[in-house]
Amino acid sequence: MAHIQVNYFSNVLVKDCQMDVLLPQRTADNPEWTKDTLTDLPVIYLLHGMSDDNTSWLRKTRLERLVKHLPIAIILPNADLSWYSNTTYGMDYYDEIAIELPKIVRELFPQISAKREKNFIAGASMGGYGAYKIALSTNHFSHAAALSGAFNPSGSSETLESFRSKEYWNGVINQRDDFDNSPENLIHLAKQKLALNEPMPKLYAWCGRQDFLYQDNQAFIKNLGALNISVDTEFTNGKHDWYYWDKFIENILEWLPIGYIPEERLC
């Protein structure tokens, strides 16, 4: 894989931004790849969680090694502590990541497909929430996956306030006047998509039983089920930790329609 670090200008945020990009490269490891193989590439937008950035998936997991034999692109954007939302502070991270970024990616990397069936989005924790949020509120992604998804950010939270003050979160996502009908509420977004008769993305969720978000995950998936929206779920032992996200990112790769073959290790 080629690893490209991109600094680009966001017209939405009116500032320089960063993303990391993995692109398949013809090497001795992949001699069968042709120019056609590397055209109209499927792509995974892989979102980070709180306290992380666009480099976290590369620094803390096996990601690059796992996909080195796949003709697929990986886009790793930076969303700061935004919850992939348009904040009341004028920093419209939702618009930048969900709407502007795919256009910039296609301009800079025309070999990446614009087709919905070849665009996927995933993330961990806050990034899992962001993946579902963007997939449910746009028609750009056919599959969305979450590891330890932070699906219910409403109300006060000691976890959130260990990062920033309650006043800060009031302007991001946490204390909107009507969260039930808010664009930050995933169930509301799912109901909107159903009402508009738009195609529903295929959904996957993993969460560990020892994760502090385990109960929220179960409740959220139950609420989707009440809307007849199915989610491919895996609940195993595990905590809110990169050890498990590194382990289960491979399950996401197997779940996606990309022809992933798991690594084999001889003992």
Mean pLDDT of all residues in 4-32:
95
Mean pLDDT, the chain, integer = 92
Spell out the SS3 assignment of 83-146: CCCECCCCCEHHHHHHHHHHHHHHHHCCCECCCHHHEEEEEECHHHHHHHHHHHHCCCCCEEEE
Whether residue 212 is contained in a domain is answered as yes
In this predicted structure, the answer to whether residue 207 has a pLDDT above a threshold of 50 is yes
pLDDT tens for each residue of 140-150: 999 999 999 99
In this predicted structure, the answer to whether residue 211 has a pLDDT above a threshold of 60 is yes
Please tell me the distance from the alpha carbon of residue 139 to that of residue 141, in angstroms, as a whole number. 6
Q: How far is CA 165 from CA 149, 159, 170, 181, in A?
A: 22, 11, 9, 24
Other CB atoms within a 10 A radius of the CB of residue 207 amount to 29
Whether residue 260 is contained in a domain is answered as no
Whether residue 264 is contained in a domain is answered as no
In this predicted structure, the answer to whether residue 176 has a pLDDT above a threshold of 70 is no
Note the maximum CA span of the chain: 57
In this predicted structure, the answer to whether residue 6 has a pLDDT above a threshold of 80 is yes
Mean pLDDT of all residues in 15-32:
94
Whether residue 62 is contained in a domain is answered as yes
**Structure-token pair, residue 60:** 């803390």
Which region among 49-53, 63-67, 174-178, 224-228 has the lowest average model confidence (pLDDT)? 174-178
Whether residue 262 is contained in a domain is answered as no
**Higher-pLDDT residue of 46, 181:** 46
Give me the domain span that covers residue 111. 2-255
**Higher-pLDDT residue of 24, 164:** 24
**Higher-pLDDT residue of 216, 179:** 216
Whether residue 200 is contained in a domain is answered as yes
Of 188, 71, 81, 60, the C-alpha closest to 118 is 71
Where do we find the tokens 């560990």?
Answer: 208
Strands 2-10 and 15-23: antiparallel
Instruction: Report pLDDT for 174.
Output: 54
Whether residue 46 is contained in a domain is answered as yes
Whether residue 140 is contained in a domain is answered as yes
CA-CA-CA-CA torsion sign (104, 109, 115, 120): negative
- The CATH number of the domain holding residue 187 is 3.40.50.1820
Q: Which amino acid is at 164?
A: R
pLDDT tens for each residue of 74-129: 999 999 989 999 988 889 999 999 999 999 999 999 999 999 999 999 999 999 99
Domain count, the chain: 1
